[in-house]
Structure 1
Amino acid sequence: MKKLFSTEIPKNWKTNLFYDDVQSSIYTADTTKQLTETTLLDITFVNQKIVFDSIFKQKMLKKHQSNKLSLLKFEQTTLLNKPAILDIAKGTKGNFPYQIANLFVKINASNFMHVKTEVYGDSLVNERLCKSINLIERIQLK
């Protein structure tokens, strides 16, 4: 990888790494569990500018609408001591209840990080999202 960031991932989780000229990504999940019992986590460092404005919010809302998801939360926050946007939506994906949390973190003027966590099913949703947030908070920028 490009060594732009690191994070702690449980040893039993299956992890895939991806990088190209624009992004560096870690995609991971506990594949020892059923889809409706696990959490999927995708952390991507993107070499691109991001602007948190009304156009950004409209794009997110439009994406959720096209995926038939309902917005639960959209707020400015901080992550890694950087300005961030938290976006949480829910709906159905496939035949399963589904929740997705997106965090967009402005690293600097030229880069941002997109952290996405997905939870399928309706069992222990909050607990699984909290576990994912705990992993997200361990991200370290290089």
Structure 2
Amino acid sequence: MRFSILIFIAPLLFFSCKQQSEISSDFNCTTTAFNNLEEIVDVKKTFSVKFPKTWKTKLFYDAAQSSIFTADSAKQLTETLLLDITYINKSINFDNVFKLKQEQESLSKNLIQTTSKEIKLLNSPSYYTVSKGKKRTFTYQVCNVFIKLNKNNFILAKTDIYGDSLVQERMCEAFSLIEKIKITQ
């Protein structure tokens, strides 16, 4: 009897668990759960994302793009993450020219690109880079995640992490928020 119950319950448990995204897997992230989330919709109503209610959030837009910027302003800069998610009306292709341009852009900001990879995120072809450098007195890392939505639009989710403390944990927190993006257009 116990064995038959186990056979019935085991598949349910297996399939009910959310599969980790490829980027979270690449960074060996464990599940990051935020409490008290609120849905923020960008000015142009092209996407929404859930952020903690206590975080400071700002909205920006112009003719070609719409952004949501957030950070936990209750923490020191070296303890939080800065996250800027931008919906951009422009085509994008993850070819060698694009990848070289990303590396050159990092170098122009005195950053060294340490990681780059094509992945699938939000069921869309995506590409991420991680670069390291120094800004003023802080070491910092920047992770740019490009998510191709269609031939005319993409999302750029940029995470800045200052300092050396809990960098991977904060990066994983950013990924868990990025994974909550919902396209509304």
TM normalised by structure 2 equals 0.75
Q: Distance in 2 between matches of 1:16 and 1:37?
A: 20
Paired amino acid for 1:56: F
2:156 corresponds to 1:114: yes
Instruction: Give per-residue Cα distances to partners, 1:46-96, cap 9 Å, x unaligned.
Output: 011111111111111111111221111111001110000010111111110
2:50 corresponds to 1:13: no
Which has the higher mean CA deviation after the structures are superposed, 66-75 or 115-124?
66-75
Q: Distance in 1 between matches of 2:107 and 2:86?
A: 23
Match of 1:83 in 2: 125
Tell me by how many angstroms 1:43 deviates. 0.2
Q: Which has the higher strand share?
A: 1
Q: Which runs of 5+ in 1 are unaligned?
A: none
RMSD (CA atoms): 0.7
| Sequence identity percentage | 50
Instruction: Give per-residue Cα distances to partners, 1:27-56, cap 9 Å, x unaligned.
Output: 000011111111000000001111111111
Q: Which has the higher helix share?
A: 2
Tell me by how many angstroms 1:126 deviates. 0.6
Indicate the structure whose relative CO is greater, using CA pairs within 8 Å and at least 6 residues apart. Answer: 1
Q: Which runs of 5+ in 2 are unaligned?
A: 1-42
Aligned residues: 142
Match of 2:114 in 1: 72
Please say which structure displays the higher CA radius of gyration: 2
The DSSP-based 3-state class of the residue aligned with 1:7 is strand
